[in-house]
A = this chain, B = another copy of it.
Amino acid sequence: MSIYTDLAMELREMNPKLGGIEEKDENDGEIAIKRINILSDEASAKIGKAKGRYISLDAPDLVMRPLDLFEHMSACLKKELNALIGRDASECTVLVVGLGNHRVTPDSLGPEVVGRIHVTRHIKEYMPEAFEYPVASVCAIAPGVLGLTGVETMDVVKGVVERTKPDIIIAIDSLASRRAARISTTIQLSDAGISPGSGVGNKRADLSKESLGVPVIAIGVPLVVYASTISQDTIGLIADETGLHNDEEHLKELAEQVISKHMGEMIVTPKDIDAIVTDMAGIVSDAINSALFGERLSDVRNLIA
């Protein structure tokens, strides 16, 4: 039981001198972009994330929900998405997978995003004449979570991949962060695949290029902090401040006591998490729709409404 985070940027902070990792920072005044590239197997094993590129967009002012910044964040996410797609989306079949449980608010981001994706695959198949221009063939599923379905997410996705044969998969999930301040302000992109349930449950078979045979772009948004992380951080800070580090084993025992006594499966979340999930689902789905349809976005939207 220790500090848990799904964010590569936070894992890097906790392992600042680890080799085998490249990083690069940009900042446009509103959004800080951090690019982390996990290159070696060793670094991957140490840091607990698959090899590949991780891009985090961080806009602390999002916490105040200014509409302009929503649009800016969405535009920035679109640009990064198009770079990861790396080709003309209008020639691609794209499967969007919304991971998570729509009955658990902080875990419902994936299904919420899927509900806002402009889906075109069935129209291209059954009414190809509806589009007079090249347009991405987009489909989208929310496979549910193991605890509700009894079926591994991977098993649902694999079946759909075999039948729809996508060129690219975009998977969306809620993440766990180390710091509550990141909730609602950060979005992480990656080409390294994603573990369903890592946000608020157990690790399961990864969705990745290795397992599915198709490039997987993961978009994750931190929406919870494990309560155990808060306790652990509190103890760490006290150890630092009181010079009790020589007593580290004793402190770890204490941490376990507090955690088992108070928190079981508790999560830390803002009171307005319902509104935050709605806002973030808007930012992410706008970015995906724009990245996939480009200048044809409003034509597609009007057609499928």
Contact = CB atoms under 8 A, between A and B. Distances in A.
Contact of A298 (B67, B180, B261): B67
Interface stretch (A35-43, A44-52, A76-84, A264-272): A264-272
B150 A271 contact: no
A113 interface: no
Interface stretch (A10-18, A20-28, A225-233): A225-233
Interface residues of A, number: 83
Contacts of A121: 150-151
Contacts of A102: 102
A159 interface: yes
A106 B267 CA distance: 13
B200 A148 contact: no
Contact of A258 (B149, B233, B305): B233
A32 interface: no
A129 interface: no
Interface string A98-142: 000011111100000011000111110000000000000111111
A1 interface: no
B122 A103 contact: no
Interface in A273-305: 273-275, 298, 301-302, 305
Contacts of A120: 150
16 contacts: A66-B298, A66-B301, A66-B302, A104-B274, A105-B274, A122-B147, A141-B144, A151-B164, A155-B160, A156-B160, A180-B264, A230-B234, A231-B234, A234-B234, A242-B247, A263-B268
Leading 8 A-B pairs by shortest Cβ distance: A159-B159, A139-B150, A121-B150, A65-B305, A119-B150, A155-B163, A234-B234, A122-B150
Given A66-B298, A155-B159, 7 more contacts: A67-B301, A68-B298, A104-B272, A142-B144, A159-B163, A242-B247, A266-B269
Interface of A: 64-68, 102-107, 114-115, 119-123, 137-144, 146-152, 155-156, 158-160, 162-164, 179-181, 200, 225, 227, 230-231, 233-235, 237-238, 241-242, 244, 247, 250-251, 254-255, 257-258, 261-275, 298, 301-302, 305
